[in-house]
Structure 1
Amino acid sequence: MAATSDSVTSPYRGFTLREWQQHYRTAPDSLRTTLSLVSGSLSKTDNAWLYLATAEQLEAQITRLETLRSQAEGSLSALPLFGVPFAVKDNIDIAGWPTTAACPAFAYTAQADATVVANLKAKGAIVIGKTNLDQFATGLVGTRSPFGAVRNTFNPQYVSGGSSSGSASVLARGLVAFSLGTDTAGSGRVPAGFNNIVGLKPTKGWLSNTGVVPACRLNDAVSVFALTVADAQTVAHAAGGYDAADTYSRKNPHTAPFALPLQPRIAVPDRLEFFGDDLAEAAFSEALERLRQNGVTLETIDFTPFRELAGQLYYGAWVAERTVAVGAVFEENPEAMDPVVRGIVASGLNYTACDAWRAEYLRAELARKINLALEGFDALVVPTSPTIRTLEEMAQEPVLYNSQFGIYTNFTNLADLSALALPAGMRADSLPAGITLIAPAWHDDALASFGRQWQRSLNLPLGATGLAVKPEEFMVSAPLSPACVRVAVVGAHLTGMPLNFQLTRRNAVRAEQTTTAARYKLYALANTTPPKPGLVRVEGGSAIIVELWDIPLARFGEFVAEIPAPLGIGSLELADGRTVKGFICEPWAIPDATDITHFGGWRSYIQSLNSPVKS
């Protein structure tokens, strides 16, 4: 629902993080003026908002941010989100602000920021308001709120998706730069698909749930909505991190790849269900064809365990977790709850402790089958939702249609997977279509790497803003993750060479081809199998071709352990001034080696050996 309003239009509508950063670089003293314009453009009659920052609350954040900038001596490098306005789903705490979970009888004033909010504020971001949701985050529809249904940003006759409906709506309309939702069964993905935006559902435990009203604590995840994949990835890294106060927080084991291969192998369900929605089916078929055109190999897999696990979340003992989470409101004042939500929560009383254990055993069994099915694939691609419904249709079948929305989302957290919902073009009825990439836990950055390429290939308008993606957005480089080590390889580990498998079997991913600084000589070493080169730094050397590979941090040591003398890993200087880890050679091996520097790289030298000798 577009904001009606007595408000003014913000000149910063639809700004991406890059544009916000550029704005403050050119106007570093405009913080108050800028945020006043943003705040003044928001309407209290827009039911996507449940609470907007008061002038005093906004000023308190600005004052704190100015202190942080002063401590940084004016530099914004430590504050990458400086002055960037964002929205927060109203089941996430902000100190001094009300938290309602869309249930007025449940409302309380938060004493502290949720950890994710505190982390984002520490990077410079400014909370501008809190957003509507399906009550207690129970639903995928965006209609189960006493504050009214949040309407689809493309056609107000349709649902927005939920439960993070308000966060998706304000982001899609460009009112904020990013927003936070939560995702237990798909609440951070379905609204993204219905509103043409990016929804990053992180690995459980990466983003802390401290200060978040639980829906199902074992399966809850704070999610990120953004206009671009680059922005979603940046925000997730700023918000995430281990939190000892959250008993379900986890440390990244640093074993996952940082990116997908250039030509990934992606799984597709063998049986796809669209519940008679021919337009959704056609849109997904078109998306699959685009994936093939982008170099993706698609292969079908048995989707049975995925489908069975998805059904457990609302039609099994897991629903009792929601009964526990709602607690006192359900027990003492059930009439204060949305009728549909109350019915779902009440059904949790039908299960026994024995049922709960049986459900856990079944979950573990199906999750194992799912993760085994995904072995050998770089990701799974599914429709974000198999269909969409009008508000009128949803009123007639609130439970059935909600369940349909979740068949490609409900299993994800139960199976401990990461997911990224992406825009995929427009249906024939001018509603957005979306796809979701799903991969094992901690593959978030790998999915984002592909998502960036996907978004670039489609070049769709940003959300519902009607604004085109500026070419500069695609030049925003992915943050080099501290969870990987960038290594320069020069010989037998190059792509297609005999030892390249030592990288790929450790989930290493090729980042780029480049050259060293012009300070090296390359030698063909004697008596090595397979043949190997030695790279030596010298005065007056040449630039040598190398490939840069990103190796998961936890796999780097075992890779180095396989390197035989006289080779080792040291620091190499690249032509553009960067310094990376890379192969070096001990000097004692050089007298017996052949200088092949003039070839410019190992591949050219090997090709010369295989070329026929001209008489």
Structure 2
Amino acid sequence: MSQAALPSRSRAVRSRAELTSAIATAYERIERDQHRNCWVYVRPMAEALAEAENLAGRGAQGEFLPLLGVPFGVKDNIDVAGMSTTAACPSFAHVAERSARCVERLIAAGAICLGKTNLDQFATGLSGARSPHGACPSAADDRYVAGGSSSGSAVAVASGHIAFSLGTDTGGSGRIPAGFNGIIGVKPTVGLVSSRGLVPNCPTLDCPSIFCNSAAEGKLLLGLVEGFDDEDPYSRQAPGLSSVFPREFHFGRISARQLNSFGMPECDALYERACERLVRLGGQAIEIDFTPFTEAGEMLFSGPWIAERYASISRLLDIDQGELLEVTRKVLHSAAQFTGADAFAAQHRLLKLRRQVRLFFEEMDVLVVPTAPRPYTIADMLQDPIKLNNSLGYYSYFANLLDLCAVALPNAALPTGMPMGVTLLAPAWHDHALLDFASRWQPDEGGALFGLKVYSPAAG
């Protein structure tokens, strides 16, 4: 990304004192919030301060560093050179010799990685409650799940530990935690951002994701990490679309009869309010049949794509069985019921579903859905970890299978104070147009980007 392409307020050279203060604040908050279990590893503060000192000097000499001294975290299924990657399974741990490509680009831009964040083991889950390091609660209410599998990455941003973080998203892991923590979640088109350096889950569907506090930050960060990677067999060449959504736009919405909040209708009411807000922003609502989306979504964990997950992780099942959580084992072994014929039949059906969805997008610019149907308490999730987890993916499982990009946005809070989000989706390669559109939902308030912001219901 060129210097001219960046917002001017992101280019200011911050002083050593400012950088040191930001790092000190980050570590104070990390220490304060240990009960949230959002970090697997935090590098020594002295190392981060020394890196900040070096970066400040480089910036003072005129070096172009768009993320000068900005602290960030990385989900612990993404490699950071010199740090251990565990995927929340200690016996899988190995020290990365090389950073994932997305991490390399952020560090080259001047960002400071403070450590590795907690996740559902092997990124198998949407709750944030499937980790040997402890369940990760929402930054808004410790009783409720943070959402997963990128739980720690979202909670660390919402708790003001870091300015942004990297997660991953196969079936909603970069969106649901954003919704339950009142922040932004950017899920790129699959293949737009290299997945080299990620612990594979479903490699044909995996993508790095971004958590941050504004659409402007998300657009800047995506511009830094995107790009074709010859070393990643799943990387795709972007066609170079430059589309923007019109001021008067059409948005797809789910009809009231197809909404499913799994017994919490007040969540449906928040979705209706979001649709009303889009109309006030210049949108015209189009009710769509949500059936093709739910059918595609069921293929991910209730269909043959679970076999791709098993194929990717099966070699890891020889690790210390005591460190593989029982719920992880159950999910992976469910793949045994599917045959090769099942997999091909599902792929053929998916192509038809993609065609149906493409036709929908000929009539609408963007689709809006709830980010998750409803929140669950950690206690409830631990009592019924598979059924409740799967219900969380009702509005998210389909996105990568249908080749859509997405941005999860804060919407409103329930009476309990738990934030609930909405997600905007568009066809592949419309990522930047979607983030520009997201800025209409969350207007830019000015001021410096990448501050350490703590979630509050008023802000969310």
Q: TM-score, length-normalised on structure 2? A: 0.91
| 8 Å CA contact retained: 1:188, 1:200 | yes
Alignment match of 1:264 (pick from 246, 249, 254):
249
CA distance in 2: counterparts of 1:409 and 1:332, whole angstroms: 30
* CA deviation after TM superposition for structure 1 residue 55, in Å: 4.3
Deviations, residues 125-170 of structure 1 (Å, cap 9, x unaligned): 1101110000011111000001110001111111110000000001
User: How is 1:132-211 mapped onto 2 (pairs within 5 angstroms)?
Assistant: 132-211=118-197
CA distance in 2: counterparts of 1:464 and 1:427, whole angstroms: 18
* CA deviation after TM superposition for structure 1 residue 108, in Å: 0.6
CA distance in 2: counterparts of 1:130 and 1:198, whole angstroms: 19
User: How is 1:322-471 mapped onto 2 (pairs within 5 angstroms)?
Assistant: 322-456=309-443, 464-466=454-456
CA distance in 2: counterparts of 1:18 and 1:113, whole angstroms: 27
Q: 1:290 to 1:32 in 2, by over 3 A?
A: closer
* CA deviation after TM superposition for structure 1 residue 360, in Å: 1.6
1:290 paired with 2:277, answer: yes
SS of equivalent residue, structure 2 residue 30? coil
Partner residue of 1:494?
Answer: none
Gaps of 5+ in 1: 1-16, 470-615
CA distance in 1: counterparts of 2:123 and 2:164, whole angstroms: 19
* CA deviation after TM superposition for structure 1 residue 404, in Å: 1.0
CA distance in 1: counterparts of 2:392 and 2:160, whole angstroms: 25
Letter in 1 for 2:361: L
CA distance in 2: counterparts of 1:166 and 1:49, whole angstroms: 6
CA distance in 2: counterparts of 1:300 and 1:196, whole angstroms: 26
Q: 1:428 to 1:66 in 2, by over 3 A?
A: closer
Alignment match of 1:45 (pick from 34, 39, 52):
34
Q: 1:458 to 1:309 in 2, by over 3 A?
A: farther
SS of equivalent residue, structure 2 residue 134? coil
Give the superposed CA RMSD. 2.5
CA distance in 2: counterparts of 1:309 and 1:463, whole angstroms: 36
> Which of these two proteins has the greater Rg computed from alpha carbons?
1
| 8 Å CA contact retained: 1:195, 1:463 | no
Q: Which has the higher contact order (CA 8 A, sep 6+)?
A: 2
CA distance in 2: counterparts of 1:456 and 1:65, whole angstroms: 31
| 8 Å CA contact retained: 2:16, 2:52 | no
* CA deviation after TM superposition for structure 1 residue 94, in Å: 0.5
| 8 Å CA contact retained: 2:29, 2:160 | no
CA distance in 1: counterparts of 2:390 and 2:230, whole angstroms: 34
* CA deviation after TM superposition for structure 1 residue 67, in Å: 7.4
Compare 361-370 and 129-138 and name the one that shifted more. 361-370
Q: TM-score, length-normalised on structure 1? A: 0.69
Gaps of 5+ in 2: 1-5, 447-451
CA distance in 1: counterparts of 2:443 and 2:363, whole angstroms: 26
SS of equivalent residue, structure 1 residue 282? helix
CA distance in 2: counterparts of 1:414 and 1:456, whole angstroms: 31
* CA deviation after TM superposition for structure 1 residue 40, in Å: 4.7
| 8 Å CA contact retained: 1:105, 1:329 | no
1:112 paired with 2:98, answer: yes
CA distance in 1: counterparts of 2:136 and 2:201, whole angstroms: 20
Q: Percent identity?
A: 41
Alignment match of 1:246 (pick from 232, 238, 243):
232
| 8 Å CA contact retained: 2:101, 2:194 | yes
SS of equivalent residue, structure 1 residue 185? coil
Q: Which one has a larger percent helix, Structure 1 or Structure 2?
A: 2
Alignment match of 1:58 (pick from 48, 65, 81):
48
1:304 paired with 2:294, answer: no
